[in-house]
Every structure is written in structure tokens, then in C-alpha cells.
Amino acid sequence: MNEALLRGLAPSVLAILVRRGADFAAAEDAVQDALVEAVRAWPRDPPRDAKGWLVTVAWRRYLDATRAEAARRRREDLADEEPAPGPAPAEDDTLQLYFLCAHPSLTPSSAVALTLRAVGGLTTRQIAQAYLVPEATMAQRISRAKRTVSGVRFDRPGDVATVLRTLYLVFNEGYSGDVDLAAEAIRLTRRLAAAIDHPEAAGLLALMLLHHARRSARTAPDGSLVPLAEQDRTRWDTDAIAEGVRILQAALARDRLGEFQAQAAVAALHADAPTAEETDWVQIVEWYDELARLTDSPIVRLNRAVAVGEADGPRAGLAALAEVDATLPRHTAVAAHLHERGGDPATAAQLYAEAARKASTLAERDHLVRQAARLNSRSH
């Protein structure tokens, strides 16, 4: 059974049912039932038109569920409308499904879960494993999200920015359970970028590819974090880098700069440097200036302080850092790095230890503890 084929067809089948007037929550359940039936039936009797088969079965399951409800008149109308089996419509409403699953009325976590379920075709169990929550908890989250968007029609334009933020949230979860969410986010973003003429969709795809290209070099065999400057660049995926740069250049040429394009430009400059010492930090500072103008984000200003420290020296970096909210995650770790580069290992060691106590992940904490221990060992 080709699981990738089923997952690829699921969103367009769901979109067809919703376009016909089906309630979103019930339609999504019907599609899941059809996928289960496909897994059972296709190995012994594969259909000639896989999408048409899924549409027919899902629509019948939807009608069966509808007939069990109280709205008799609506039930009878839907039953009369059942289409004859045949090829599925050529029109693809998947793009509208992206917008629906990232609807502004949903919380970010609910939008992510619904996108993975309805657009990505993942099971509730797979999504729950990826987010390290009980399956029942994730099922409730998805059910609430489906109820929230059930009354939303497909006749209004969606918010591209919300969809892109949702996909970026998926990408940043990385890998957990038996689902590689980073790869899934790239797959979904690639489909979106192909369906919509929007430079920021291309910018997000480029950013994902450039970050993902460094994935295998980010951790040592023992699972410890490897900072960017210390990574083995021969382990970077040069094909992914080349594709990301190509997509980014095409997006930038349209002169409609957005935050994902600017972030991708920073990633491309890192990827382009043969060694850490050859990184073009001056250009990176310029791109962070653009990002700060676009987003006014404190995280951007924090990252800019690091770049300033590399481009203009640690004292300039600390001056830039002084203008950033000190309660931000990683602020203390950045201060430690800049103090170390500025020749103050004692202060740096103290700050690394403090940053370790604030770390949000075990791998980050262990890395910062090692940094503090390294400097302390030199002072004895």
C-alpha cells in the first residue's frame, strides 16, 4: 500500500466533499474512513482512478453518517445529490483547505494539528506522538478545531500569512515519534508554493530547505548539540542548499520582500560560507536590519546582536544586546558568548551556567553546562 499516495490525495478529497456542501468535521471523518477502507481493499483490488474511488467512498460514508442525524430534509436533499461513480473533478480545492485549517479563529496549536490531519493526512496517533501528548488529548484538540471551522465556507480568500506561520510552526518541531515533521512541513510548503503565486511561500520553502540541509551536522553521535561554527560542513546537503538558494533568488527578484525571504537570505549566507571564518557577517547584519524593519521582533534583535558581535567585534555586539529585552530566551547565552569573545572568560562562564539553568531543552542545557565547564577548567 502506497501510504504517500493516500496522504497526498486526502486533502483534495476532503476539499471536494466540503465544496459539495458537506460539514467539515463530518467530511473529515468520512475521508479518514475512506482511507482505512482503501488500505483494506486496494491491495487485492486496486482502483483505476484512486482519487475518484476515495471521493465516492468518502461521500457515501458522509451520507451514511448524515442519515443518522435528525435533520431529515437536509438528509434527503444530500441523498438525492449523490454523484454517480466516475472520475474525480479536475478542480483542486486543496489551497482553500490550507486556508481553512489555518483559520484565524483557531489557536496556533489547533491550526497545526488540523493542518497535519486534514492537509497532511497524518493520523491522530501520529500527531499525538510527534507532539508528545496523549492520543485522547490530541483527538479532543482536533475535534474542537474541526467544529470551529465547520461553518466556514470556501468562498472567501484565506490569509496566506497565517498559513505560512502554521507551516513554520510544524517545521520547527523537527522530529519526534514516527513522523518527521520537518520533512512533512517541507512537503506541504512545496505543495503550497506550487499552488499559489506568492514570494513569501517561496521564501518559506527556501528557508526550510536551507535549515534542513544542515540537520545531520547539528548533533554529535552522542546526541549533543553542535554549534553552527563547529559543524562539519561536508555533512551539509548541498542539493538542498542549491535548491533553496535557487528558489530564494527567484523570490527576491520579484522585489516583494517579506520576513521569510529575509530569514532565508541569512540562512543562504551561512550556507554559502566554506568555513565559519569566511561568513559574510556584514551582509547578515544588513539582512537582520531588514528583518527588524519588517517584524519589529525582539528575537530578530537578539540574533542581530550576535551578528553585530561577529561583524564589528564583541563590544559592539554587547552594546546591541543591551538594547534587547534581557528576559528573552537565549539572551543570557548570547551575553556569555560575546563576553567570551571579548576576553572575559570568568564572566562568560558565570553567564553560561546561568543560561543553562534557564534552558528549555535538555540538549541545550547540557551544551551550556559544557561551555561553562570548559571555561572554568581553563581558569584553574
pLDDT digits (tens, 9 = 90+) for 33-46: 999 899 889 988 88
Whether this prediction's pTM lies above 0.85 is answered by no
Question: For residues 327 and 286, what is the distance between their CA atoms, to the nearest angstrom?
Answer: 25
**Lowest-confidence range among 29-38, 117-126, 177-186?**
177-186
Position 7 confidence tier, pLDDT thresholds 50, 70, 90: confident
Question: For residues 37 and 44, what is the distance between their CA atoms, to the nearest angstrom?
Answer: 12
Q: Take residue 183 and report the three cell numbers written for it.
A: 520533512
Question: For residues 198 and 271, what is the distance between their CA atoms, to the nearest angstrom?
Answer: 24
If you write DSSP's letter for every residue of 155-224 in order, what string do you get? SS---HHHHHHHHHHHHHT-EETTEEHHHHHHHHHHHHHHHS--HHHHHHHHHHHHHHTTGGGSB-TTS-
pLDDT of residue 88: 45
Does residue 72 carry a pLDDT above 50? no
**Lowest-confidence range among 24-33, 150-159, 204-213, 277-286?**
150-159
pLDDT of residue 90: 45
Instruction: Say how far residue 234 (Cα) sits from the centre of its chain.
Output: 26
State what percent of residues in the chain have pLDDT above 70: 89
The whole-chain average pLDDT of the chain stands at 88
pLDDT digits (tens, 9 = 90+) for 129-155: 888 789 999 999 999 999 888 877 766
CB-based contacts of 18: which residues, under 8 Å, 6+ apart? 24, 27, 93, 97, 100, 154
Which neighbouring-strand residues pair with 179?
176
Domains of the chain, by residue range, sit at: 1-92, 93-194, 197-279
Which alpha helices (DSSP H) does the chain contain, by range? 3-19, 24-41, 50-67, 72-80, 94-101, 108-114, 124-130, 135-149, 160-172, 181-195, 199-212, 238-252, 259-272, 281-295, 298-312, 314-321, 331-341, 345-358, 362-378
Q: Which residue has the cell 481493499?
A: 41
pLDDT digits (tens, 9 = 90+) for 270-315: 999 999 999 999 999 999 999 999 998 999 999 999 999 999 999 9
pLDDT of residue 82: 52
CB 252 within 8 A of CB 265: yes
The arithmetic mean of pLDDT across residues 346-361, rounded, is 94
